[in-house]
Structures are given as C-alpha cells and as structure tokens.
Amino acid sequence: MKLCIIGGTGFIGYHTVHECLRRGHHITVLALPSSFYHCSLPENVRTIRADLHALSDERLGLILQEHDGFIFSAGADDRILPRAPAYPFFERYNVLPSVRLVRLASEKGLKRGVILGSYFAHFHKYWPDKEIAKHHPYIRSRVEQEKQALAAVSGNLSLAIIELPYIFGAMPGRIPLWAPLIRYLRAPVPLFYTRGGSNMIAVQHAAEAVAGAVENTLKSEIYLVGDENIGWEDFLKRLCGFIGINKKIRIISNRALKRIMKMISLSHKWMGREAGLSPVHFVEIQTAETYFDPEPSRKKLHYGRGGLDEAFRDTVRACLGKS
C-alpha cells in the first residue's frame, strides 16, 4: 500500500515508518521541516516538509489522494503545559486534525486510516464513575478524538484508533521523554515513588500494531494495544539495574502526594498555565493499576510481545546520551 504517515519523524512514527517499509509498503512522511534535522529517514521514503495545520484542505487532499491510507502520529502529548485553559490547545492538536484527516481521506477515497491515541481514553470508559475526562483536558481530547473521528468516517474508509500505554525504546537524535525520571533515579537523594502500575510496551511492537492495523482493519474499530502489566516498584528496579545503581524505593502516601500536587497546581495557576493531566486528580490514576489484557488486540493486529528489558535498556542509554 501507499501510506502517508503524518508525524513520521516522531518516536512512534519513526519506528512505524521502518516497520511499514519492512512489510513492503510505500511511505510518504509529512512532518514539520524542523523535525527532519534530527531524524534521518531511509532514502526510499518520500518526505513532505510542511506544517499540517498550515496546509489548506485542497493541498492536504491532493497529498492524501495519492495514497491508499494514512497514519496520524503527530498529536500533542500530556507533557505539554499550555496556557490556561488547556483544552483548546489539546483540541487543536489532537481532535481537529484527526477529524479533518478522516473527512478528507473519506472524500478522496482512501481505504485505511490509523490514528494513534491514548489508553487513558479506555480508562475513561472503564471507570465511568471517575469522570476522568472531566478533570483532565488531555484525556478529554483523546476521548473526543475517538468519538469525533469515528463519526467523520464515510465512503470506503476503515478507521483504526490505537489506544497506547507507556512506550519504551529509542530513536536516533532524540532524548526519550523518560529523561527526567532517569535524572531523578541517578540523583543523590532518597527515591520516593507511588504505588500502582501500568501496562507498557516496547516501541517496536507498538509499530507492529500500527502496521497491523493498516493491513487488517476492515471496519472502523478501536484497539487497546499493549504488552506487559508492571508495577511501578518493579519498573524502577529494572531501570536502576540498567543505570547500574541499587536504590531503596520508598512508597509515598496518596495524602502526601496530593499535597505535593496541590503545590504544583498552584504554581501552574500562578504562571497562567494548565496541565493536560490535572496534578491533583491524576494521583488517583497514577496510584491505580492501569492494567489490561492486550490479547484481543494482539490476535487481530498480530504484533509481537516481550523485549521490554531491551527497550528499558535502550531508553536509559538514550537518556544518558549513549549510542
């Protein structure tokens, strides 16, 4: 297939490009001009250096119509701290471009589309009483991304939305988002962390899931993609092992954590900013076990499992500036 990957110079997008090439697909990458400076793509990848949001519908439609499918891997993640209120920012970068791509792809006769989302949208549905989208602008944007993108599907387009958990690995020229955690683990201070845990996946298997969605989705569907359920304490011990340190992990109480988060929230308010994940309300999610069974999506998308220790090692090495 001829595939247009929007955000193919990002972490997941980069690995998806390579996985799709390995499977024999023809790839066009559309990404910001500046993003190509740190990302070297194979010579057989066609590149379009442009801001998706600056392209007219006419120009974007012309690009899309040359392809059989698209992959949207360029949304805003929860680390960004936009000006308050935060939701319009996340709507602009997660919801609106997704809906626009689906609408134009449907009009131009594309058969496959994939949007990379977040497993927080799953837990919004799984925990209806918690109303987490109400408290977290980022999660609200991922929930609306799914709902509005699916509603925009028409024609022969089959849309796959991939709900992804925490992803580990590395790519050339980019420092992983886990760098602050690695700095904290290496610092000469006591190690405090929360109870709870999360599902985690190696980036290579996440890329396999995305490619599998392009190849196997015959009707619009949401896939909850992941691999191993790991407690935070076990996770930190494994990271410390790759750093080469041995630290005692002290579990901080929810009450103490909420006090810290209240101070962080006050500092955001003083700066006129709002986090995508509300610090105080996020305590409830962070200290829970956001676990799930990935087998239903694995059976449909045929992606691999395991390799997390290698992915943790690669993450640590990249954070430390080692090749």
Q: For residue range 77-120, what is the model confidence (pLDDT) as tens digits?
A: 999 999 999 999 999 999 999 999 999 999 999 999 999 999 99
Which amino acid is located at 311 in the chain? Answer: A
Hey, what are 187's tokens? 């610092």
In the structure, what pLDDT confidence band is assigned to residue 169 with cuts at 50, 70 and 90?
very high
pLDDT over 70 (residue 53): yes
As a whole number of angstroms, the distance between CA 254 and CA 275 comes to: 19
Closest CA to 9 of 208, 22, 32, 25: 32
pLDDT given at position 55: 97
Closest CA to 230 of 258, 209, 259, 200: 200
How far does Cα 223 stand from its chain's mean position? 13
Contact call for residues 207 and 169 (beta carbons, < 8 A) = no
User: What average pLDDT is seen over the chain?
Assistant: 96
CATH number listed for the domain at residues 2-175+199-228+291-305: 3.40.50.720
pLDDT over 90 (residue 21): yes
pLDDT in tens, 67-83: 999 999 999 999 999 99
pLDDT in tens, 192-233: 999 999 999 999 999 999 999 999 999 999 999 999 999 999
Check whether the bond before 85 is cis (ω within 30° of 0).
yes
Residue 104: DSSP 8-state: H
CB-count exposure of residue 101 (10 Å: 0-12, 13-18, 19+): buried
Hey, what are 65's tokens? 């119509």
In the structure, what pLDDT confidence band is assigned to residue 177 with cuts at 50, 70 and 90?
very high
As a whole number of angstroms, the distance between CA 26 and CA 69 comes to: 11
In the structure, what pLDDT confidence band is assigned to residue 40 with cuts at 50, 70 and 90?
confident
pLDDT given at position 323: 59
- Domain segments of the chain as ranges: 2-175+199-228+291-305
* Positions of E strands within the chain: 2-6, 26-31, 46-49, 69-72, 112-118, 158-164, 166-168, 191-193, 197-202, 221-224, 228-231, 249-251, 289-290
Q: Using a pLDDT cut of 70, give the percent of the chain over it.
A: 100
pLDDT given at position 128: 95
As a whole number of angstroms, the distance between CA 84 and CA 28 comes to: 35
pTM of the complete model beyond 0.85:
yes
Please identify which residue in the block is written with the tokens 């379009």: 48
